[in-house]
Chains A and B, each alone.
Chain A
Amino acid sequence: MSESKEQKIEDLYDVVVIGAGNGGLIAAAELARRSTKILLLEQHNLPGGFASSFVRGRFEFETSLHELYDWGASSNKGGTRRLLERYELDSEFVAVPEAYRLILTDPDECMDVVMPFGIDAYLDTIEKEAPGSRESVRKFFDLAEDINRATNYIGQTKGHPDQNVLLKEHSNFLKTTAYSVEDVQNALNIPEKARSILNAYWVYLLVPMSRVNFTIFVSMVHGYILKGAYIPKFRSHDYTTALDTRIRELGGKIEYNTTVEKILVENGKVVGVETSKGDKIKTNHVVCNASPTLTYNKLIHPKSEVPEIAYKEINARRHGVSTFVVYLGLDATADELGLTDYSYFINNNMNTDELYESLNNLETPKVQATICLNRAIPDCSPPGTCIVSITSAFLPGVWDAVKPEDYFTLKNKIAEDLINTLETATGAPIKEHIEEIEVATPQTISRFTRAYNGVVYGYEPESWDSFVPRLMTMNDEKHIEGLEFCGGYGKRCHGYSSALKDGETAALLTLQDLIQKGELK
């Protein structure tokens, strides 16, 4: 038949990177930049994982990104920007105009507010909406600065901080990092209405304020408000393809349509990988962009090489949400529709326990984060049109029993409900202008990324499993020599910038190991 045997890859590599998502791409680029012989294997035929795009009719849709965190203006570059700029990508990013518009739809809520970027402007607006809240919210941001200083210090000490320095200079970080957002906001006496506004970004974590870790949340809110938010001008597929190009220019090899089926382990050490194409590749180092859940339960071979503690670590954690997205190509402009803003957070209320619970059944969730892409990139679609995407979420397990024959009806029903909510909240006549519509469900996520059970948000960042304890324990929670993880399940929790930075860390740890073992030529 065909020459598939001759197409098999059987070389030896310093490092095999599994998965070309945000984490895998950076890991591969960083390793290739440092003259390591790498092979990047991706099961899909595109790079990016969640960071992608797709075309329907006259529109190219952004698949998942709402706003990139920690990018910053050229005068005030954030870590994500500095990291990506290292690879000199031919890819443009543009600023998002305002922080967000929060609309609460319950009749007794009366909330419709546009929040600006910039700490002072933000404080002014929140004071106007919730008089008397300025000082307590300022303290919230002051704490964020303290935490920033602390994490910078810990970074400078390469994860080995002087306990005395921590106690003396970074006590505000120490004293809050074991608590939930609710605990700390109670201590700060932030009035309820101000909390509603301040906590709108919770959708990017989707864990209730009573459980989500304070440190990660305050860092996120502060980062967005201080540095603004950015998005790729030509969708995420542009920068991920730019990374693909750079990796190959640096001598890295990339194979798409190639699923890793086994990570071969002998005596606790990585010795190679096997793929769906029958490739048998020798390597002592794997950087894995797949989750620990998938890796330990499915990829490590033989199973006897998986230590019991690896299963326990997975089972002790809670998998985060999967997403549900309605992508709309509309044949009217944002002006014509009256969509004045880029980012809309539309919820019934801001009781995050109640909102979280609404993600736990097949009814339409009470949460949506909606983007009008043209408000950041006016010409992202043809003249006379605009792109709107509505994102909601479901907890893992909710879609488990859905039958194929009911699937299309179900997803259309939920999509319609979400569109109706958007119409009511904004007054925009969406339905009569739909030219293209696509709906992605947890099944779609699984189909294209093979993420375990369609999970997008990694493990839930409660305080005991937020980025601080993850970073503190990263050396003793390694169970297989030569295996590093990167991506949204990684040491910095989920999100684009976390995954990108985690890719860099995984690359550096792998490099260190290669050097220590004298394996690098």
Chain B
Amino acid sequence: MSEEEKKFDIIVKSNTRDLFAFTKLVPSRKKRFEKASSEPITTDPMNELAIRLHPLRQYLVISEIINETKSTKTYKLTPDPNSNTNQLAYFRAGQYLSLKVEVNGVTITRPYSIASSPSDALKGFYEITIRKEEPGFLTQFIWNKWKVGTKIESSGPEGFFFYEPLRDLKQIVGLAGGSGITPFRSIAKEIAEDKLDAKLTILYGSSEEDDIIYHNEFKVLEKKYPDKIKVVHVLSCEKVTLEGCELGFLTSDIIEKYCDVNNSSFFICGPQIMYNFVEKELEKFNLLHKRIRREAFGEIKEILSDPEFPQEVAEKIFKIKAQIGNLTKEIPAKATESVLVALERANLNPPSKCRSGECGFCRSLLISGDVYISPVSDWRKAGDKKFNYFHPCASYPITDLEIKVPRHL
């Protein structure tokens, strides 16, 4: 700093008053304190709003189970007041819940899109629709064990797969595959309720006619709102009896046939293989980034099919030395399963939500060793990459590892 002398003498009110004001500074502060109320503050309204919109967990109970198709069921979930959940968090149509499932004593999580509308949450229920996967030990378990009355722990509503009026065009095209139809049911209902000012055309890929979920429900909506909601079924099977459907896959030809490609916002939700296919088809239209929104598709199903995955470790089982809180434990980890799965198998109850690398909830520290992260699910921040933080749900061990994992919230 400069060592210069001051250049002039300030007078604000008068010399004496200015100095007097300074000497009164602390005493008048004390006086203000003495005069103030001594009532504690007991409310924090923004915290209350945050808890209502984004509860850390919601305790739910299954109130109804609806058989949708031979392999899908819809579970109606209501608050479980016995566990202090009295209302459900409101959400944006398209968001998901991360459900905690305890399978044979091991706690894992799965993200499921909310299939009911946001206003249904205010009425006291969410609906999720689950397809039984083959193979898929978790969905088999759910299928067999979830009954009316079963209690389920859930996250708050999560995810960024929703219509954003400041960005998206009024015409939404939903490209759905299989159970990827679920978020579009929520969006369609919100449009039908006149809460969302948009039009929705869904191109819905299914493998068999009897795999189509919500078939009749969408028929009713289409009839009632012909200007706003339209569903085109695209079936990959050989024989079809349904009228007005397309055969094959969601190709650019089919997309062009039903959509004004350059005046629509595309929303994609379905299994991973469908993304690979549909994205290639959409490339032909040379659309802007902002016109294509993708739901995270969950954990990569076949990491070995990723061309960049180091195939030489495919058969290996590595050791992970995991610190979690005060506990340090050495656990086995297959190269072809995510670090998150290894942590769950070892019953360490790690945090997780999206299981797609996107939300960062499982963010952990890689102390030593190396992991493979597929570019499609690498959502890490620049600083995390630099300082070796990683997302276990989207990382595969390719050496022995030492890691530090935060405890679950």
Residues of chain A at the chain B interface (Cβ within 8 Å) = 1-4, 6-11, 45-46, 53-58, 60, 90, 139, 142-143, 145-146, 148-149, 152, 167, 169, 171-172, 174-179, 183-184, 187-188, 234-235, 237-242, 244-245, 255-258, 276-277, 279, 293, 296-297, 303, 306, 308-309, 311-316, 322, 331, 397, 399-402, 404-405, 407-408, 412, 415-416, 419, 431, 434-437, 442-447, 450, 452-454, 463-465, 468-469, 472-473
Contacts and interface: CB of A to CB of B under 8 A. Distances in A.
Given A152-B1, A331-B289, A435-B290, A175 B12 contact: yes
B21 A257 contact: no
Nearest to B323: A7
A31 to B, nearest CB: 20
Contact of B19 (A174, A238, A445): A174
Nearest to B379: A55
A315 B6 CA distance: 39
27 contacts: A1-B349, A4-B408, A7-B327, A45-B351, A45-B363, A46-B363, A139-B8, A139-B10, A143-B10, A145-B4, A149-B6, A174-B19, A179-B21, A238-B381, A245-B387, A296-B40, A311-B37, A312-B37, A314-B41, A316-B33, A331-B290, A404-B90, A415-B166, A437-B164, A452-B47, A464-B32, A469-B29
Interface in B367-409: 379-384, 386-387, 389, 406-409
A463 B25 contact: yes
Given A241-B386, A404-B49, A405-B90, A313 B406 contact: no
B256 interface: no
A469 B47 contact: no
Contact of B167 (A176, A404, A435): A435
A45 B360 contact: yes
B314 interface: no
A507 to B, nearest CB: 22
Interface string B178-191: 00000000000000
Contacts, number: 266
A45 B51 CA distance: 17
Nearest to B326: A9
B220 interface: no
Given A242-B383, A437-B164, A464 B28 contact: yes
A184 B18 CA distance: 11
Contact of B381 (A11, A235, A314): A235
Contact of A172 (B9, B90, B379, B386): B9
Given A6-B326, A452-B44, 8 more contacts: A90-B387, A175-B19, A179-B18, A235-B381, A240-B383, A435-B288, A444-B50, A446-B46
A172 B37 CA distance: 35
A142 B50 contact: no
Given A331-B290, A415-B166, A434-B290, A175 B18 contact: yes
B401 to A, nearest CB: 17
B265 to A, nearest CB: 11
B339 to A, nearest CB: 16
Given A178-B24, A405-B122, A312 B33 contact: yes
Contact of B382 (A45, A152, A234): A234
Interface of B: 1-2, 4, 6-13, 15, 18-19, 21-22, 24-26, 28-29, 32-42, 44-47, 49-50, 52-54, 89-90, 92, 102, 105, 107, 118-119, 122, 160, 164-167, 288-290, 324-327, 329, 347-349, 351, 360-361, 363, 379-384, 386-387, 389, 406-409
Contacts of B42: 297
A312 B40 CA distance: 9
B45 A7 contact: no
Contacts of B384: 237, 241
B52 A2 contact: no
B348 A2 contact: yes
A175 B32 contact: no
Contacts of B40: 296-297, 303, 306, 311
Main SS at interface, chain A: helix
A405 B52 CA distance: 10
A359 B36 CA distance: 25
A1 B44 CA distance: 34
A399 B46 contact: yes
Which 6 A-B pairs have CB atoms at the shortest separation, nearest pair first?
Answer: A7-B325, A2-B349, A238-B383, A316-B36, A178-B21, A175-B18
Contacts of A296: 40
Contacts of A314: 41
B30 to A, nearest CB: 8
Nearest to B363: A45
Contacts of A46: 360, 363
A331 B6 contact: no
A408 B160 CA distance: 13
B33 A419 contact: no
A143 B10 CA distance: 8
Given A45-B406, A242-B387, A331-B288, A434 B167 contact: yes
A142 B165 CA distance: 50
A431 B29 CA distance: 48
Nearest to A472: B26
Contacts of A244: 387
Contacts of A241: 383-384, 386-387, 389
A521 B386 CA distance: 34
B49 A446 contact: yes
Contacts of A179: 12, 18, 21
A123 B380 CA distance: 44
B161 to A, nearest CB: 12
A182 to B, nearest CB: 11
A241 B290 CA distance: 30
A87 B105 CA distance: 45
A147 to B, nearest CB: 10
A242 B41 CA distance: 36
Contact of A447 (B38, B54, B361): B54
